[in-house]
A and B are shown apart, each in its own frame.
Chain A
């Protein structure tokens, strides 16, 4: 139980375009979704926290206008990387808190901006 489905698993996009990443909780309701970014050989860095029906809370240094987060329902949260640039290339992972299984992660999205 407590599965978060994340897609796409990988995406290559041109510089200046936007990319949307979706995370769906399949068998539970995710009131809160955490969005992380991980650069190679580095730790997971929390970017923002989204709560269903309200505005996301962004960590210091994360541009809210660049990384748009929408959490319109209890089972879906999306992260849109707008006007992507090569430095945005990274591994993006969502995570939700479950009632019985702690924090569960999506499978991650490898974004490459060329």
Chain B
């Protein structure tokens, strides 16, 4: 069973702080990884994708990938109350066809 594991949270950080979200995956053949943000009652929206080991930065977001450890993370700098949402980690399964989602981490940014 291919899985993506996330801490369900909630993770609570003060406004302006760095929020760190973590994820592990079981499928060693996965090559593509994604972070989605999902507001309550809404469908997920893509924040970041990462395919290579190391860091990838986009504005306030930094995704980190370590394939040896099967670990993906998302850092949100200067967290804002509007960042409060559930963050889903996802991995494209071996074969590049199906996307496996984690259960999500709930983030609360306190004003």
A-side interface size class: 20 to 34
Q: Which chain A residues lie closer than 8 Å to B43 at the CB level?
A: 6, 93, 105-108
- Complexed CA–CA distance, A49 and B99 (Å): 11
Interface range, B side: 10 to 19
Q: What is the CA–CA distance of A25 and B44 in the complex, to the nearest angstrom?
A: 17
B46 touches A44 (CB 8 A): no
Interface status of B21 (Cβ within 8 A of chain A): no
User: Can you offer 11 A-B residue contacts whose CB atoms are under 8 A?
Assistant: A34-B99, A41-B103, A43-B88, A44-B88, A49-B97, A49-B98, A91-B41, A93-B43, A102-B34, A105-B44, A107-B42
* Cα–Cα distance between A42 and B86 once the two chains are bound (Å): 11
Interface majority SS (helix, strand, loop, mixed), chain B: loop
- Interfacial residues, chain A to chain B (CB-CB below 8 A): 6, 34, 41-46, 49, 91, 93, 95, 101-108, 110
Binding site for A on B (CB under 8 A): 8, 34, 41-46, 49, 88, 97-99, 101-104
Identity of the chain B residue whose Cβ is nearest the Cβ of A106 in the assembled complex: B43
Q: How far is the CB of B108 from chain A (nearest CB, A)?
A: 14
Which one, B8, B41, B44, B97, contacts A110 given CB within 8 A? B41
A44 CB contacts on chain B under 8 angstroms = 44, 88, 101
Contact B104 A43 (CB under 8 A): yes
Report the Cα distance A49→B97, complex, angstroms.
Answer: 10
Report chain B residues within 8 Å CB of A108.
Answer: 41-43
Instruction: State A4–B90 Cα separation when bound (angstroms).
Output: 20
